[in-house]
Amino acid sequence: MNVSVGKDFENYVQQKIATGDYASASEVVRAGLRLLKERERLLEAKLLALRGDIELGIQEAERGELVDGEAVLEELRNALRERANRNG
pLDDT (0 to 100) of residue 1: 86
Q: Please spell the DSSP secondary structure of 4-48, one letter per residue.
A: ---HHHHHHHHHHHHTTS-SSHHHHHHHHHHHHHHHHHHHHHHHH
Better-scored residue on pLDDT, 69 or 22 = 22
Residue pLDDT, tens place only, 27-82: 999 999 999 999 999 999 999 999 999 999 999 999 999 988 999 999 999 999 99
pLDDT (0 to 100) of residue 16: 97
Whether the predicted model's global pTM rises above the 0.75 cut? no
Q: Is the model's pLDDT at 88 over the cut of 90?
A: no
